[in-house]
Amino acid sequence: MDEYEWDDRLFGKVGIKRVETKRFIRFEHLKVKQKENGYWYSRTSYWFIRFPYCKNDTQILVANIVALIIMLQVIGRIFSSLMSSSF
């Protein structure tokens, strides 16, 4: 719990933890909301490819979006060439 950066939001507390590995960066979001009979929590993770030239989180997000678009175009071209050659 100490590893998270906590922030008070409208529907409870939100903690964000950044975990870096050799090739990936993972952001863990932990949401805690107090209910009448206890607590409700939800934990989600978002994975990003680590690019060495990116200096902040916004650049990492943009680089991952561009990489996703390029990969989808390559997969689309491979798929369309396979479909056109089979008929």
- The candidate with the shortest Cα–Cα distance to 32, out of 40, 22, 44, is 40
Whether the Cβ atoms of residue 73 and residue 81 lie closer than 8 Å to each other: no
Domain count, the chain: 2
Same domain, 45 and 56: no
Same domain, 25 and 67: no
What integer is the mean pLDDT of 62-86? 93
Range of the domain at 44: 1-50
Same domain, 46 and 6: yes
Same domain, 63 and 40: no
Q: What is the pTM of this model?
A: 0.70
Q: What is the pLDDT of residues 7-21, one digit of tens each?
A: 888 888 899 999 999
Same domain, 77 and 87: yes
What integer is the mean pLDDT of 53-59? 91
pLDDT for residue 43: 92
Pick the more confident residue, 59 or 34: 59
Same domain, 44 and 11: yes
pLDDT for residue 3: 84
